[in-house]
Structures are given as structure tokens and as C-alpha cells.
Amino acid sequence: MHYWKGLFCGILTSATFGMIPLFTLPLIAGGMLFPSILFYRFFLAAVLLGLVLFLGRKSLKVTPQELFALAWLSLLYTGSALFLFWGYDYLPSGVATTIIFLYPVFVAVIMAVFFGEKPSFFTYTAIVMALVGVALLSGVGSAEGVKIKGVLIEIMSALSYGLYIVGVNQSCVKHMGALKLTFYVFLFDAVTFLLFAVWKGGLQPVPGGMGQVNLVLLALVPTVLSNLSLVYAIKNIGSTFSSVLGAFEPLTAMIIGVLVFSEPFTRALAWGLVLIICAVSLIILAPVLTKGWRRGKFFYITRLRGVHRNLFPYD
């Protein structure tokens, strides 16, 4: 029973996180700037997570060293969110959200270059697949110059999130509870985007009607709900299997972009999406596949649980 609940939560994580464009693009179309949107998103998410922690009677106490680490990590998370939203000005939302899910590739490269992890054959293969996938996505749609700029912006978003993941696992907060860590990151992000919004001319008021609904859903569904379901999924089916399910989050964003916002869907885009999903899945499964390869078995299913801990800080 726990396995099936964990599987359901893993699928729920993929479906909800991919809904970011669904709630964001109408706000942008209504005239809201992304600093204001992101402030409301993270502020409301921090309030909701704080309520969860309070009801669960969890301590929010942190040391000065942990607070400093959380502040730096929040800047990386801020960069990831900022570049993601900025990329929506240049790319279809499905393409933009797909590119950000290159972050496991960046995690693998960073761990190899700076922390001495030796990449396997499967890791190298995944990196090549990811590069080809991004090249295909870059040729989709409008003028090439605009597309390349958008792709570079989204690659920066993926790199920022990859650095965030590595930072969590290599800093003094790596043993901190997932909800507590995420609460502080969201709180710092809310402050950062509040200052950014003021610098850009002032925090915009919450729009009426559907704007308020979209802001609440943006904070609740692809922010709080996706994080909570991910925590539950990892506890029941392991980080590796949860990560593989998470690789399909771009598919949700792509479907929403095509069906809701009438974004283009060409053969090149489809192949790029497939290659990136396969590359991310291969990066996540690389340790398992390498073990199985060395033992004469291509799949080593019994060792799937909790293998690639560097990819997610929620264990």
C-alpha cells in the first residue's frame, strides 16, 4: 500500500510542478511583472509551509551558520525561478520548462568536476543526448536569435537549480528536514523578490478576480503541493524512482502549452523533448545501470531505492 501511495505522489509531483506556466502566463498577460509574481508565489508558499510546520509542531530553530547557508541557497533558488520566468518572454512555456529539467545533467557535471565523482558511460551518453535535445528545441518556432537568447536564459535557470541541489547536499544544512529547509528558502526568496519588485518601481497590487486565483494556485499547486508530494514519494519509493517520475514534469508543461496556450508542437520539438527526458532519466539511473552492467545484468532493479542522493535534497 505504501508503494502505491508513493507512486501516486511521485506522479502528482510531476503533474503539479509542470503546471507553473498554467498559472503564470495569464498573470504575465494581465500586466504583472515577474518580480511581483514571484514575491506573491514564494510569500504565500512560505506561509502555507509555515502553517504545515506549526501544525506538525516542528521546530524552526536554526544556527547562525545554517541561516547563512540558507541565505546563499535561496539566492541560487531565486536565480533559477528568475531565469525561468524571464525565459517565458522568448520561448514557448513548454520548451522553457523542458530546458530547466536539464539540471540533473549539470549536477552530474558539477559533481564530476569539483567533487571528484567519476562519470560513467551512461552519464556521458546522457550529456550528449541532452545537448542534442537542447539543439533541437533551439530550432523551434520564431527567429533564431531570439530563440538562442531564450535557450541560454533557461540553461542559466537549470544551472542555478543544479548548483542549489549540490549546495544543499554539500553544506551544513544537508541533514535539515526537507520542509524546514524549503520554508526558509521560500521565505528568503520572498524577501529577495520584494526588494527586486521595489527596485523595479514598486510591488504591484494583487490583481482581482482570476488573478488572485492564479496567484494562490501558483503558490499552492506547483510550489507547496509538489514539494510535499515529493517528500512523501521519496520516503515510500526512494529518491531514484521519484527522480525518474520527476523527469516527466516537462511533459506536463508541454501538454499545457500546446493545448491551453496553442503553442507550436513540431517534430523537432517532440524529438528534443524525448531526448531530454531520456537524458535526465539516464543520469538518474546511471549508478544503478553501472552496477548492473558490471555484474552482467543490464537492470539491477532491486537496488533502485535511494541511489542517487545528489539529485534531490529531500531525503
121-135 pLDDT, tens per residue? 887 888 888 888 887
User: Which residue reads 537542447 in cell numbers?
Assistant: 134
As a dihedral over the C-alpha atoms of residue 223, residue 228, residue 231, residue 234, rounded to 10 degrees, the angle is: -90
On whether residue 240 sits in a domain, the answer given is: yes
Write down the pLDDT at residue 139: 65
Q: Which residues contact 35 (CB under 8 A, 6 or more apart)?
A: 193, 196, 197, 200
Q: How many domains does the chain have?
A: 1
CA distance 279 to 57: 40
CA proximity to 270, closest of 112, 139, 102 = 139
CA distance 275 to 206: 39
On whether residue 11 sits in a domain, the answer given is: yes
On whether residue 272 sits in a domain, the answer given is: yes
On whether residue 308 sits in a domain, the answer given is: no
- Residue 56 has which C-alpha cell? 506538525
169-222 pLDDT, tens per residue? 888 988 888 889 889 999 999 999 999 999 988 999 988 888 999 999 999 998
CB 167 within 8 A of CB 77: no
On whether residue 247 sits in a domain, the answer given is: yes
Read off the pTM. Answer: 0.81
Q: Count the alpha carbons within 13 Å of 73 in the hemisphere toward its beta carbon.
A: 25
On whether residue 266 sits in a domain, the answer given is: yes
Write down the pLDDT at residue 78: 93
CB 48 within 8 A of CB 220: yes
On whether residue 292 sits in a domain, the answer given is: yes
Calculate mean pLDDT across residues 265-293. Answer: 79
211-266 pLDDT, tens per residue? 999 999 999 998 888 877 876 776 676 655 666 666 677 778 888 888 888 888 88
Residue 146 domain boundaries = 2-303
Q: What are phi and psi of 219, to 5 degrees?
A: -75, -35
On whether residue 315 sits in a domain, the answer given is: no
Collapsing DSSP states into helix, strand and coil, what is residue 212?
A: helix
